[in-house]
Every structure is written in C-alpha cells, then in structure tokens.
Amino acid sequence: MAVKILLVTGDAAESLEVLYPYQRLLEEGYAVEIAAPAKKKLRFVVHDFEDGFDTYTEKPGYTWPADLAFDEVDPAGYAALVIPGGRAPEYLRNNRDLQRIVGHFFAEGKPVAQICHGPLVTAAAGALSGRRTAAYPALEPDVAAAGAEYEDGDGVVDGALVSARAWPDHPTWMRAFIDLLRKTAPPA
C-alpha cells in the first residue's frame, strides 16, 4: 500500500499550487488525497504576474474534486501534509477541523510543505511561532505576527517544514520536500 500524503485546499486555491505537488507526488509513488471544507468539486484560480500590476492578477482556473472533507480526516493516516496557496487559505485558516489536522502534523514532526498564502493556515493553527518560512512576499508582516522569521527563498527548509513564495518556486520547493519525504516516509 502506498504511503499517503494529505493536500488541504479549497475554492480559490491557486491551480498550479494544488496540481503541481499533487501530480509530482503521485509521480514519486505516493498516494495523495485532497481534503477541503466539504467533499465537492473545487474551483481553483490562476494567479499571474503581469507588467504594470502592483500585485498578481486572478483568472478562473481548473476544477478538481476533493476526496474528503476536513471533518473526515484522521491525520494519523498520513505521512505528510501539503498546504497550497491562492486565496483559499484566507478563509480555510478559520476552520477548526483544519487547525486540528495541521496541529497533528507539527506535533508529530511530520513533513509539511506550504507555499504562497499557505502560512496563513499554519499561523492560525499556532504552528509557525519560532520557525523560519517563506511565503508570498506580501505576507511578511503576517509571518512576523505569528512569531516566525520570514525568508525570501524558493525552497526554505526548517526541520520538517518546507516552504516557498509562489508557483515559480515549484522546482526547488518540491525537490526539497521530496528529498525530506524520501528520508522520513519513502514511497512503498
């Protein structure tokens, strides 16, 4: 049986930040399950960087089904956690079941990959204090308010936490996360 990895997301997540790690981890031989507030078809978005804009633009993205709802998740059954960005973390961070899930991974020292706005979720779960993390650059004050050190990097590793700024960092971010997984939870 394949080692299971949990990916937590919701509507308005960045398409690339969900589907790239999802497919990359499947390619490595892991079983990946997507959890969301409800088991339903999720609607993702595409964030792009365009000349003349002060921040990213947002366009409709892909749709993808969630495998299970947060309240159905037993985090003990998963070896690692992935938290994509986009706008989804802004509202997901308030979900008590998601906070329970995230808390488990940090308490057990299991690998966690977060990108872009994902640190909003780990901060709300009380898991960022004393850590070093990358995030979308506009979140630097949020990271500091959570008691963490912001690092402007594409594959920041702090123990079992691997983080990055946004989807352009995917190669370095996923390479670092997969290297960690191979050591702590090799695929079956």
Phi, psi of 172 (to 5 degrees): -70, -40
Burial annotation 127-143 (CB, 10 A radius, 16+ → b, else e): bbeebbbbbbeebeebb
Q: Look up 117 and say whether it is catalytic.
A: yes
Q: Which of 47, 104, 116, 170 is catalytic?
A: 116
Q: Which of 47, 104, 117, 170 is catalytic?
A: 117
3-state class of 40 per DSSP? Answer: coil
CA angle 150, 58, 151 (to 5 degrees): 10
DSSP character for 3? Answer: P
Q: Look up 104 and say whether it is catalytic.
A: no
Number of other CB atoms surrounding residue 147 within 10 Å: 12
Tokens of 105: 């991974």
For residue 15, give the H/E element and its range. helix 15-27
Cα gap 63→12, rounded to integer Å? 10
Active site residues: 116-117
